[in-house]
Structure formats: C-alpha cells, structure tokens
Structure 1
Amino acid sequence: MGQQTVDRSDNVAYNRAKLWQIILFAANNTSTNIYLVAFSFVTYFSTGILGLAAIFVSQLMGYIRIFDGIIDPSIGVLIDKTDTKFGKYRPILILGNLITALSFIFLFNIDHFGKALTMPLFIVALIIHKIGYSMQQTITKAGQTALTNDPKQRPIFNIADGVMSAILFSGSQIVVSGYLMKKHGGFTDSFFNELMWGVIIISAILGALAVVGIWEKDNKKYFGLGEEKTQKTEMKDYIKVIKGNKPLQVLSISAALIKFSAQLFGDAVVTVMLFGILFGDYALSGVISGLMVIPNVLVTTFAASVARKKGLRRAYIMCLQVGIAALAGVAGLLFVAEPGSLNLTSWGGFSLAFVVLYALGRYFASAPSGLVLTMGADISDYETSVSGRYVSGMIGTIFSFTDSIASSFAPMVVGWVLAAVGFAKEYPTAETALTSDLKLATIALFAIIPIAVLLVSLFLMKFYKLDNEEMARVQEKIHAMKAAKDNERVQDIAKNVPLSDMDYVDLSQYPVDEP
C-alpha cells in the first residue's frame, strides 16, 4: 500500500464511501421504520381482535419499550464482539430482520391459539419483536462509522434516509386510510393479515439493499484505528465509556425526547383523534400525508445541507427552533378548529395556515431524529480519539436505550390522557363524537406536550460541543493515532493530547497508509 501525506488543507485522509453505498445503506433505517409504522396499529389489533383493554395495552406497550431499552446495551456488546468472515454488521442486520419478521407472523396469529393464551403470547410476541428490531435498527447507527468519516459525506445519509422515510411515513398513511381501511372495512383480521405480509416483504427487500450498501465497508480496516491499533475493549470499559463520554450523555437524552414527540405525531390513535374526530374526516390524514411527501423531503434536504455547511450540531438546533415555533402556531389553530374547518378542496385561510404550520412543525421538529443517526457516528469517532476504542455498537445502543425509555412513555401518555377524558377501556375511533375534553386531549397530545419536551431537548444542546470545528480536530487526532508506530504511542496520544492541541499539529508529519 502506498503512503499518503495529508496537509492542513485536506486535514485528514478520509475513508469515503461511494454515493450508491450511502443510499443503499440508508435503506436499513426504512427497513426497520416500516415495522415501527405498522406497530402503531397493533393497539387496534390488540383491542379489536384480541379483546384486550385499551389502558392495559397502552401501558404494556410502554413497558415493552422499556424492556427494549434494557436489552439494547447487550445488543451493542454483541455487535462490538461480532467478528465473522461475513463481517461485523451484515450478520446482525440479517438476523435481526429475520427475527422481526417471524415475530410479526406470530403476533398477528395469536387469536388462533385461544383466549386463555392471548395475554401471555401477546407479551412474548412483543418481546421477540423488540429483540429483532433492536438488532437491525442499531446497525443503522453503528455501521455509519465504517461507511464514511468524511463530514461532508455523512449528512448525505440523512438526505437519502429522509427521502425514503418521507415516502414511507406519508405513503403508509395513504395506503392504510385510502386503501386497506376501505378494502377490509376497518381494522379487521384481513386488514392485519395484508398489513403484516406487506411490511415483512418490503422490509426484507430494503434490508437486502442495506447489506449490499455496507458490504465493502464491513471490514476490520474501517473499524476505529484499524485491526492492529484499535484498543481491545473489555466489559468494564463500557462503563468507562458511558461515564466519561459527555457528548454521548447529552445527545442521547436530547434525541430521546425528540423521538418521544415524534412518536406522538405518528401515533395511530392521535392521528384518528386529530383528523377523524377534531376535523371530522379520517381520510384527510391520507390526503395530508400525500401532500407532506415533498415538504418532508425538502425539510430533510435543507437540514442535511445546513449540516454539510455548518455542522450537524448547528442543523440540529436550527430544526428544533423552527419546529417549536411552528407547533405553537398549530396549537393556536387547533383551539379554534371544529369538524369541517380543514377543507382541502376550497383551501381557505385556515386550511392553508394549518397545512403550512403542520408541515413546518412536524418535520422540523422530527428532523433531528434523522441527524442523530449520523451524529452517533461522530460520537463514536470522538470516543476513538480519546480512548483508542471502537465501540460503535455500544454507542448506537445507548441511543436506542434512552430512545426506548423516552418513547415508551408515548403510548403511556396517550393512554393516561385518554383515560382522564373517559376512554380507559377502548380508544376513540373516527366515529366517536367530538367533545371539549377530546379536543383538549388532541391539542395536548399533538402540540402542547411535544412543545414542552422539545424545549427541554433544545436546552440540553447547550452542553453538546461536537460542532464542525471540534469534529475536524477529532478526525485529525485519529489520523495522528493511525500514524503512530505502536499501540503504546496510540494510547499516549489518546490520553495526553487534548483535542484543542490539534490546532497546532502539523499533520504532514503523520503519513498514514491508505485503507
């Protein structure tokens, strides 16, 4: 292998990916998110088909997400310890997708086992599902560290992911409200059977594309400092990482709060309450979803463009600020809204204002969730620069852990709010009459609670310091560590060279072999 001398204008010898590799690997997030979309309808399956109480299901779904968070660190260790001829990431991705698919087949056939087994089998199915989902979903964050470390390239992942996610979330609502509901006459057995197989097939195809995308980069030479110089990690070291990595602590909590609000935006029950009850026409949810595809893509692309120019931190904060302001406007409109207020045929002032503020509020407030997928890779690189360790799996699952704990409260909060207004046994449907209590519950779940949570998330970002300049220093330090002659020198640089000192280091003195 030839040597490459890097000057200050180039900063470091980046590991870059081809555009098609980034796009295909981004499909992994959509592959797991399609299960997340389908999962929001499990509440109707559990109450309508299985006959379980709504308040019980809402709390159980929350506890299952907490369980998901508890097992996530174990999955992170599994990923970090995986070392096969087939790579580190591909085996976990494929196994996770297979387990998740089998869990869905099991879940939507529980009603065939008899009433006595309904509750225990429902819980078992949810647990199996969460294990498979976490395995595959964590690869989205962990694999990006190997895919590319170029700060100009990493946000491209967010654009690709954003486009696919926009098509998924908007398209799924169109399919459910405009096709499946009409074809099957509501949330029936046949509805869930078609939903199940559609989700399994689409997810498997997207997962296969992601495997192709990460194929070349799923190699030890792209992990951390490379096979020889990356420090071996013992179980006790994971505690050190969690306790000592402040960017990880801050961003994981901030991102979890954003995911919580995003869960409320996309919750199937909240969607029914907003469009089916408050506006009086559930089919509007599908129409709105169709209209939102382009705004969603534009917001995601804009956020990624800001990230490429100004850094991920700047883009993250900007999205939160715009999202909070727009949601405040949505809250104001919902207070004066009544059935029939939203008319997408005549397009009056209310309808136009709602659509614009809805698009800005929902998608700017949710955009940081996509940016976090890439920021997790930044934090993994930061950890490598200060310890010499490569623990992308663990760092990815720490985000999943806090994400699961926070998002577990979304169905719980929906259940609590609805129980407070008289819906403890069953969820309101599109046929439920609008009352003042239901209206206030809808406004609280879709706007007021998210605004409060997002303000806390925004405050936490004051303590997250990995901006563009700091990440340049991180990559420069990793470059110097790769050029070190032995592991002792690697550790010396990691422990004794602060990132601030990298401003005074001449990287031309650190030639490294090209990967």
Structure 2
Amino acid sequence: MSKQPLEDKANGIHRAKTWEIGFFSLNNMSTNLYMLLMNSISYYLVGIVGIGVVLAGSIVTIMRVWDGVTDPFVGMIVDKTNTKFGKNRPFIVIGNVILFLTTFIMFRVIPTAPTGIRFPVFIVLYMVYIIGYTCQCVVTKSAQTCLTNDPAQRPVFSMFDSVWVTLVFSVIWPILLSTSLIPNYTLNSAQHADKINAFIAQNPSLEKCLTESNGVQVLSGFYNPEMWTAMQLGIGGIAALLAILAIIGISRKDRIEYFGLGTEQKVGFKDYIDVLAHNRGIQMLVVSASTDKLASSCKSNTTVMVCLWGIIFGNYALYSSASAITCIPLLLLTLFLMNKVACKMGQKKALLMGTYGSMIFACVSVVLMIVGANKGIMNMPIVSFVKPASFLGIFAPSNWSILGVLWIIVAVLLGAFNNMAGNIVIPMTADCADYEVYRTGRYVPGLMGTLFSFVDKLISSLASTLVAVCFAAIGFSEVLPTVETPYSTSILLVTIVCFVGFPMIGWICNIISMHFYPLTKEKMAEIQDEIARIKAEQSKAKA
C-alpha cells in the first residue's frame, strides 16, 4: 500500500496514509469505551437508582423511541454540514463533550440526589447522552467515504479497529474489571461495615443487593457508587484523547473534494426515503450489522461474563487471565484473515467467512461449557504454561487444565472469525454510500452513518433487555447474579442461550442478508470507475 500514490486521478482513486487510517479508527474505540461503561448500567440502575431488574434491563431499549427521533435529524445535519473545520470533525468534538458531561452527572450527582428524582433525572440525562453518542458515532461511518475510496484499502480500517477492539475488550477491560475494579471496590461487613451502612443510608435500594458469604455480608463492586465514578473519569479521559487522535487522522481528508462527486448538493427528506427504499446494499447491510450487534452484545454482556467465569467456571480471575493469554494470537489471526480475505477477496466474502467460522467454533464452546460447568477443572494442575508470567500480577491462576487449554484455542478461533464478521461492516457502509452516488448521484454518508448508529444502539440495548428477562425468568428479578452467586443448571442454560443462542440467530441472518447484498469486490471496482468518469466530465464542463 505504501508504494501506491495517494491520488490516482486516472481512475478516480484517492487513498489515505496508513497512520491516518489508524488514528481515525480510534474514533470508534472512543465511542466503544462509553458503550463498555453503559454495558453494566443495569447494576447501577438496580442498586443506586433503585428500579427493578427487568425495567433496568429494558430502560435503554425504551429510550430508543427518542433515539429514533434524533438519529435522522443528526444524519441530515451531517449531510448538510461543510465548515472550515470540515464536515465530520465538528461532530466528533460535540459528541464527545456531551458524552463526558452527561455521564459525569449520571455517576457523580445522581447518587447524592433525593431518591424520588433519581430515575427521572437519569432519563433526561440519558436522552442527552444519546444525542452525543449519535453525533460522534455517525462520523465513524460517514467519514469512511472521504478517508479512502480504494476497495483494497478500506478493510485496513477494520484491521486497525480489530486491534483496538481486541486489546480493550479482550485484555485491558477484563483485566481491569476482574483484577482491579471489582476486587478493590467490593466491600464486606467485617472490614467495611461503616462504609456499607453509609452507602445504604444514602441509597436504600442497595440493601437488597447485599449477599452473604461465610457469615459475612458482601456488597459487590458493581453496586459500589465509588466504582462508577472511577470508571466514568477514566473512560471519559481516555475517550477524549482517542477523539483528538481521530480528528488528527481525518483532518487532511475532511474536505469537499473527497465528498461524493466533489460538489455541494442539496438533499431533502424525499431523497432519504428513496435511499432507504431502493438502496439494496444498505438494506441488507443493516440487517446483517444489526443482528450481528445483537449477537456480540448478548455474548459480551457483563452479567453473562460474570456467570460464565465467576459461577460456571468458578473463578472470575480466569476471565482476565484467559483474555490476556488469547490477546496476541487473536490479534495475529484476525489480521491474517483480514489481509487474506477482506483485502484480497472483498468485504462481502470476509463477512460470510467470518460468520461461518463463528458458528462452528461457538458450537464447540457450548460443549466445553457443559463439560466444565461447576467442576473446577478449568484450572486443575495438569498444564502450567502461564506461570512464568505470573510475576506480572496479570495471570493470577498459574495452572490450567486440558479443558482450559482447549477453551483458549477455541476462544482465539471464535474471536478471530467473529472480529472479521463484526468489524468489516463499518467500511462496508462506505461502499453503500458510494453505491448511492453511483445509483443516483446523491452523497448521503450522514444517512448511512445515523442509520447504523440507530441500529447499533437499538440492538445493543435490546441485548440488555433480553439478558435481563432471561435471568429474571430463572429467579433473578430483584438483583442480578454476582460472582458470589451459587452455581445452578438454570444459570448454565441461560448463559449458553446468551453466549451462543442469540448470536447464532444473528449469524444466520448474516448469511441470508449477504445472499441479497449486491456489492462484491468486482461491483465496487465498477462503481469507482463510474464515479471517476462523472467527476472527469464535471471537470471538463467547468473548464
């Protein structure tokens, strides 16, 4: 890629520098960090705001009514924006500022407010939060079109994105959560009775969240208000830094000559309706991306991870150990697949191959979960290959069983194929936007981005509702399971449903939708040639 010119005017191709793609990909991680924070919001709503489990799991979904109203307006504003600071960069700034301020108030002010107004205040704040998330999230998709239009280069974004997602979701966050945040903020009555009583006095709903272990009452870190303030400050600061780097990465390309046909145009509401009704690419991609998002959100839900590692496998510390062990092989395999499949065979084939691989290894993981459930054999002293690294304080359990080794192998394979299927949809939105330019001459990346933003938030929030309803059905209607909860067959079955069952539905939808998706690698080459021809004709007409 480095040997190719950034501009190839003969065929209308324009490319980005590799570091620009890498920097810009951090915008997605900036918003993903806030998604990580809100993934565990049910614990906060139950323990501190004081509502029931099912309502807590459903509230984010309910709020999508407001989201559905705001998303099209934000998309239209993006499509009509063209400032000295660019089309996309203003929305990164506005969105990130809103996200930080709203979450700061949520987790620092609400716990000190009168209990009767906490829920309505949270609702108002979350409504504003949604606007901020939409503003920043839409840029990840809309700016893809101006970043590069080289079909062979667009998957490079997904390669960078896969690195950041794997590092944060599979290593940094699990380690931080399971070995630092949860242990340090979990309180027991033997040592912290006064603090627990003070929290309960300020937040009466926390009393129902206490569990008993060996005659001592325990308040999980998930219900500790201080952990939420610490997470918000850390995540907010890092997300702001990533947003700044993303702005630097897109700055050279965020100019009108890289937008569609390179000219300003007026886009009205009727144009949006026509796009949604006739652009088969975006229709099928939304189906695929939304169901895939449901799959990943259910699979990675905090409660599901607590049940899998803390209850079924019986050692929550293994969560961080397994994540750290799988990180490097997962990254290498993901990048290998992206390079060999997405860059050379096209993005559609990459999504399909990732889907089939995910389905196969998800089924294998179910077998391992059933065999290893509540038997303590994930860390029997049969194999000891992480002990040399235990001095780092990362790999707490130094002995792993054969089952544990098999789980690591399957986790790497499942994660790599799942990463390829899930991450490739972001640059595919650029293909859909270019397809619309090819089809009608309209450049509407904002519509594409907000459509995905809406689906992303709707489906990810639906996952919280599904998980909450599933656990409420087996008796967890008042509080959610924690690592202190005893094992039961019902917990195993619900965890399997959330970890594999719901994702399987999403993967089947991927296969069906890609059957009707028209944008193959060959079709995208034809599209770029036609756009280049139109631009050349416009240049001659002006001359």
Give the Cα separation in 2 of the matches to 1:365 and 1:294. Answer: 16
**Unpaired runs of 5+ in structure 2?**
1-6, 187-220, 380-396
Question: What's 2:387 paired with?
Answer: none
Secondary structure of 2:240 counterpart: helix
Give the Cα separation in 2 of the matches to 1:424 and 1:265. Answer: 20
Question: What's 1:115 paired with?
Answer: 115
Which of 379, 382, 389 aligns to 2:432? It is 379
Aligned positions of 1:66-465 closer than 5 A: 67-108=66-107, 109-169=109-169, 170-185=171-186, 186-187=221-222, 188-227=224-263, 231-305=265-339, 306-339=341-374, 340-343=376-379, 345-465=398-518
Secondary structure of 1:484 counterpart: helix
Q: Is the 8 A contact 1:269 1:427 kept in 2?
A: yes
Supply the AA of the counterpart residue of 1:364.
F
1:266 Cα shift?
A: 1.5
2:12 matches 1:13 = yes
Which of 467, 483, 493 aligns to 2:536? It is 483
Q: Is the 8 A contact 1:418 1:424 kept in 2?
A: yes
Aligned residues: 481
Aligned positions of 1:473-512 closer than 5 A: 473-485=526-538
Secondary structure of 1:360 counterpart: helix
Supply the AA of the counterpart residue of 2:103.
F
Any idea what the Cα deviations from partners look like across 1:252-294, whole Å, max 9, x if unmatched? Answer: 1111100111101211111101101111111111112212322
Supply the AA of the counterpart residue of 1:478.
I
Any idea what the Cα deviations from partners look like across 1:412-463, whole Å, max 9, x if unmatched? Answer: 1101111110111110111001111111111111112211321122221111
Any idea what the Cα deviations from partners look like across 1:6-50, whole Å, max 9, x if unmatched? Answer: 3xxxxx231111111111111101111111111112222222222
User: 205-214 or 67-76: which moved more?
Assistant: 67-76
1:70 Cα shift?
A: 4.2
Supply the AA of the counterpart residue of 1:276.
G
CA change 1:223–1:486 in 2 (3 A) is: same
Supply the AA of the counterpart residue of 2:477.
A
Give the Cα separation in 2 of the matches to 1:62 and 1:4. Answer: 46
1:4 Cα shift?
A: 7.4
Q: Is the 8 A contact 1:155 1:304 kept in 2?
A: yes
Secondary structure of 2:63 counterpart: helix
Supply the AA of the counterpart residue of 1:61.
V
Give the Cα separation in 2 of the matches to 1:61 and 1:5. Answer: 47
2:92 matches 1:39 = no
User: 154-163 or 401-410: which moved more?
Assistant: 401-410
Q: Is the 8 A contact 1:270 1:445 kept in 2?
A: yes
Q: Is the 8 A contact 2:294 2:459 kept in 1?
A: yes
Q: Is the 8 A contact 2:8 2:14 kept in 1?
A: no
Any idea what the Cα deviations from partners look like across 1:272-327, whole Å, max 9, x if unmatched? Answer: 01101111111111112212322332243133211111011111100000001000
Supply the AA of the counterpart residue of 2:364.
G
Supply the AA of the counterpart residue of 1:341.
I
Q: Is the 8 A contact 1:261 1:450 kept in 2?
A: yes
Give the Cα separation in 2 of the matches to 1:199 and 1:352. Answer: 32
CA change 1:204–1:237 in 2 (3 A) is: same
Q: Is the 8 A contact 2:12 2:531 kept in 1?
A: no
Give the Cα separation in 2 of the matches to 1:223 and 1:80. Answer: 10
1:393 Cα shift?
A: 0.7
CA change 1:58–1:338 in 2 (3 A) is: same
CA change 1:86–1:110 in 2 (3 A) is: same
Q: Is the 8 A contact 2:294 2:502 kept in 1?
A: no
Supply the AA of the counterpart residue of 1:164.
W
1:92 Cα shift?
A: 0.7
Supply the AA of the counterpart residue of 2:63.
I
Give the Cα separation in 2 of the matches to 1:166 and 1:345. Answer: 23
Give the Cα separation in 2 of the matches to 1:276 and 1:69. Answer: 37
Q: Is the 8 A contact 2:280 2:518 kept in 1?
A: no
CA change 1:299–1:66 in 2 (3 A) is: farther
2:539 matches 1:472 = no
Give the Cα separation in 1 of the matches to 2:178 and 2:63. Answer: 27
CA change 1:171–1:208 in 2 (3 A) is: same
1:69 Cα shift?
A: 4.2
Q: Is the 8 A contact 1:382 1:474 kept in 2?
A: yes
1:56 Cα shift?
A: 1.1
1:486 Cα shift?
A: 7.8
Give the Cα separation in 2 of the matches to 1:275 and 1:165. Answer: 20
Any idea what the Cα deviations from partners look like across 1:210-267, whole Å, max 9, x if unmatched? Answer: 001111111111100112xx64312211111111100100011111100111101211
Secondary structure of 1:166 counterpart: helix
Question: What's 1:493 paired with?
Answer: none
Give the Cα separation in 1 of the matches to 2:151 and 2:15. Answer: 10
Supply the AA of the counterpart residue of 2:309.
F
